[in-house]
Structure 1
Amino acid sequence: MAKTGKSVSSPSKKIFVLDTSVILYDHDAVNNFKEHDVAIPIQVLEELDNFKSGNDTRNFEARSFIRLIDQTSNQKLISDWTALNRSNAGMFKVVLNEKPTKVDAEEVYGKGKTDHKILNAALSLKEENTDKKVVLVSKDICLRLKAKALDLYAEDYETGKIKNVDELYAGKTEIANFPEAVIDQLKHEKKLDASELELPPKSGNHFYVLKNKRKTANAFFNYSHKTLSTVSTDAIFKIKPKNIEQAFAIHALLDPHIKLVSIQGNAGTGKTLLALASALEQRKNFRQIYVTRPIVSLSNKDIGFLPGDAKSKIDPFMAPIWDNLRFIKEQFNDDEKMLAKIDELISSEKIAIAPLAFIRGRTLTKIFFIIDEAQNLTPHEVKTIISRAGEHTKIVFTGDIYQIDTPYLDSESNGLSYLIENAKNHPLYAHITLQKGERSELANLANELL
């Protein structure tokens, strides 16, 4: 039988109060606090009600959470403590408009704002449960600071966060003083049995720069086959790699055995261009090339506020992808047949460029799928996209984890960082971090000095 009234406590148990930003990041957040109790202020449900309509991921998260709470409550009152539907879980309740008697956030910060009512919900729980530590969990830094100013514990939602983002997997290793004879043999035979070589142990696919004095070999270690093969620096679709990292990226993009690729790097390192050129190079192997990016609107307004039809609304957000495609076309200015072929690929939608929200619910079969600006996705969104993959599909994520436009995401909690950290040892996955900007010397100046 469900317990009602105050939560039954043990000295080490805590009460976590979740705000709207946490639910929109992960609708299953209430189930990620082990044996501790979880409370949701009524204002959070009111805000989620405003988010439940639409095709964005935050709309999906809002709907999923509302259904989850409905299933959890069943015939019980959610204003009382109710057991969560899993083993060794704590209790759950919705906190109504309760006013704390000691410190009132609305008196301190001002009346009428939802954030201040959420603070009051947490403060009232703190007064009612003096034997428990009450913690406000929010991805809103300002709200956490306000909570701490009121002597209320506050923390970020940690599930899905990468702890040491500066040590995030880069995909390549440089080895000095590598045996000269092996370098010569690799260049001659193109592929070697890696089990006989003195390479650092790796549990996934990996790129190497092998050096011995003036000799260098660029190689790829295939974990499944336990082989070391040379990496070509040849051009693809008239796009030639300008550094070895770009050559590594192209190798991963062209390898038919690698189904999932991520490319991370600053603006101007060539992430999107390489992915698009590789897709066009393999256009005969796939039914469609689908290029997309999440739409992050200015002032966080939905694109419905913009004038014009659907195409007019989304074209400004897709412009960087069209720019890359236009640059590739310019390489064929002396080849009218290829220019016509590229135009035909676009008009027949063999190449499709559209917002990420447009693929929800689809199964992606035999598609080369490029997701640009993937740092603006949540871990759940990345998981959802990959789960759409059908047979013979290749998925490529590109982005810069330090250039995030989505509220409540950062370099540690975004979906691209999450993917790199968690997929790095899988045999179907390869990653490379691009360090050197190749857009222009002026662009490099901005990245390095400003």
Structure 2
Amino acid sequence: MKKTYILDTNVLLHDPLSIFAFEDNHVIIPAVVLEELDAKKRYMDEIGRNAREVARLLDQLRTEGPLHKGVELPNHGTLTVELNHRSFDKLAAQQLEPSNDNRILAITLNIIEQSKQAVIIVSKDALLRIKADAFGIHSEDYLTDRVPQYDHIYKGYQEEWLDADLMDKLYKERMLTFKEAGLTPTHPNHFYVFKDASSGSRSAIAMTDAKGASIKLFHSDTEGVWGIRPRNVQQRMALELLTREDIPLVTLVGKAGTGKTLLSLAAGLYLTEDLGHYKKLLVARPVVPMGKDLGYLPGEKEEKLRPWMQPIYDNLEFLFNTNRAGELDDILAGMNSIQVEALTYIRGRSIPDQFIIIDEAQNLTKHEVKTIITRVGENSKIVLMGDPKQIDHPYLDEYTNGLSYVTERMKHLDISGHMKLEKGERSGLAQLAADLL
């Protein structure tokens, strides 16, 4: 039996293609939703872009016939722009004001009464879903584009127990087949932490090859870079991904203080300054404030961006071991191979031969992260990192942010690697705060 879905404005602003996400069912967009989209289309941000994209899609569908009468979608469903929101009697009796949310409830009640069929409101607004339940209307969140919950997101490694003879074989031959290890083949560049099941005293780190066909004993020639040595096994595996030229896309997730930024900067300086594999180290982060916005800042572009980029400079000061004010600026000016900037200026660029670090990538939307990765030119490497639990963007969460999206969509490719850092190394207090607060 086909279902009828009524879409709220926030669903379309979140994903303009949600119109086509309901298979062969009937999709209804209330006229009040079009009014809200019209109010948002002038915004010069992701919300405005999505509002304009919805308008373009609806205009294209309009060529198939009058939208108020319904048109067929490519997935054999139908789409209707519904104007039947004038009757507000059912909600007026409850002394509810004719707000936009309440008008969506009113049209839903009217459609249910007219069609005598199940109608579902799809909204990312929890309060609208709560009010819908109060009127006996079935409501759902829009989950089509969600990745797994952060606690279940791909980690990039797994721990396994091996018999003593298999551990001996791994050390001797430096590889195992998945059949020998009794494991199911997984993604390329995936790590294993093997432990001896008989004694528990031996352990080994292994890594699947680029094709994901076998497990090879992990050995890295890079024990430390730029004075930074990995302090735990996840950091050691992350450093391997960061220093491998054949893995041009690396994603790192982890709580605050797990070493994501410091390891990435150290690896970038090592590959750029020491080995010369890249011509420049580019470090960028989205300009999304935590709490109230600072507003306009005085000075030139570099002075305006300095407060936003300060976390990057803090790590660079540690790596360069600077002691006096202005010393880091003198070093960076002399090197001329390290560029720190906001992501605001990345559109339209092509970035070849560079080691690119995108910090706080959890504050990026899917569209923004696609824009960034498509800027990467030949012989460049890009590192996306962040903590999906600490999102400052008002329209993103741990399920829908760009960092989690890239991790899940790219994990099966041999050109990508991922690591979830779990142990904080900043301080005992920072680790307790990340775990308990």
TM-score range, shorter chain: 0.7 to 0.9
Alpha-carbon separation, structure 1, partners of 2:303 and 2:33: 34
Alpha-carbon separation, structure 2, partners of 1:353 and 1:100: 56
User: Deviations along 1:366-401, whole A, 9 cap, x unmatched?
Assistant: 332222222233334333433333322222221222
SS in 2 for 1:439: coil
1:169 CA displacement:
1.7
**C-alpha spacing 1:149/1:371, structure 2 compared with 1 (3 Å):** farther
Preserved contact between residue 231 and residue 248 of structure 1 (Cα < 8 Å): no
Q: What is the TM-score with the length of structure 1 in the denominator?
A: 0.83
**Residues 1:419 and 2:406 aligned together:** yes
**C-alpha spacing 1:66/1:367, structure 2 compared with 1 (3 Å):** farther
| Alignment correspondent of 1:281 | 270
Alpha-carbon separation, structure 2, partners of 1:266 and 1:393: 27
1:246 CA displacement:
0.7
| Alignment correspondent of 1:378 | 365
Preserved contact between residue 41 and residue 121 of structure 1 (Cα < 8 Å): yes
SS in 2 for 1:28: helix
**Residues 1:126 and 2:115 aligned together:** no
Cα root mean square deviation, aligned: 3.2
**Residues 1:435 and 2:418 aligned together:** no
**C-alpha spacing 1:275/1:124, structure 2 compared with 1 (3 Å):** farther
Alpha-carbon separation, structure 2, partners of 1:344 and 1:196: 54
| Alignment correspondent of 1:201 | 184
Moved more, 223-232 or 316-325: 223-232
Match of 1:295 among 281, 287, 292: 287
**Residues 1:167 and 2:152 aligned together:** yes
| Alignment correspondent of 2:317 | 326
**C-alpha spacing 1:287/1:342, structure 2 compared with 1 (3 Å):** same
User: Deviations along 1:31-60, whole A, 9 cap, x unmatched?
Assistant: 111111222233333333343345533332
Q: Give 1:39-188 correspondences, 5 Å limit.
A: 39-53=28-42, 55-74=44-63, 76-84=65-73, 86=74, 88-96=75-83, 98-104=85-91, 108-111=95-98, 113-131=99-117, 133-163=118-148, 165-178=150-163, 179-182=166-169, 184-185=171-172
Preserved contact between residue 288 and residue 393 of structure 2 (Cα < 8 Å): yes
| Alignment correspondent of 1:8 | none
**C-alpha spacing 1:242/1:199, structure 2 compared with 1 (3 Å):** farther
Preserved contact between residue 248 and residue 380 of structure 2 (Cα < 8 Å): yes
**C-alpha spacing 1:339/1:358, structure 2 compared with 1 (3 Å):** closer
Preserved contact between residue 317 and residue 328 of structure 2 (Cα < 8 Å): no
1:223 CA displacement:
3.1
Preserved contact between residue 373 and residue 400 of structure 1 (Cα < 8 Å): yes
Match of 2:237 among 217, 223, 248: 248
User: Deviations along 1:29-88, whole A, 9 cap, x unmatched?
Assistant: 10111111222233333333343345533332222222111111138443332223x2x3
Preserved contact between residue 290 and residue 367 of structure 1 (Cα < 8 Å): yes
**Structure 1 unaligned residues grouped into runs of 5+:** 1-11
SS in 1 for 2:90: coil
Q: Which amino acid in the other structure matches residue 174 of structure 1?
A: E
Q: How many residues align?
A: 424
Preserved contact between residue 263 and residue 397 of structure 1 (Cα < 8 Å): yes
Q: Which amino acid in the other structure matches residue 127 of structure 1?
A: E
User: Deviations along 1:409-441, whole A, 9 cap, x unmatched?
Assistant: 332333323333332222111111111011111
| Alignment correspondent of 1:9 | none
1:271 CA displacement:
1.1
Alpha-carbon separation, structure 2, partners of 1:357 and 1:70: 30
Preserved contact between residue 84 and residue 110 of structure 2 (Cα < 8 Å): no
Alpha-carbon separation, structure 2, partners of 1:123 and 1:360: 45
1:150 CA displacement:
2.1
1:227 CA displacement:
5.8
**Structure 2 unaligned residues grouped into runs of 5+:** none
Alpha-carbon separation, structure 2, partners of 1:17 and 1:214: 59
Moved more, 134-143 or 309-318: 309-318
User: Deviations along 1:84-134, whole A, 9 cap, x unmatched?
Assistant: 3x2x332222234713455327954434x4333333333333333323x22
User: Deviations along 1:310-369, whole A, 9 cap, x unmatched?
Assistant: 556544333322322222222x669x9998554434xx4x43333333222333333322
SS in 2 for 1:110: coil
| Alignment correspondent of 1:214 | 201
Percent of pairs with identical residues: 37
Preserved contact between residue 85 and residue 104 of structure 2 (Cα < 8 Å): no
**C-alpha spacing 1:105/1:390, structure 2 compared with 1 (3 Å):** farther
Q: What is the TM-score with the length of structure 2 in the denominator?
A: 0.85
| Alignment correspondent of 1:3 | none
SS in 1 for 2:226: coil
**C-alpha spacing 1:93/1:101, structure 2 compared with 1 (3 Å):** same
1:256 CA displacement:
0.9
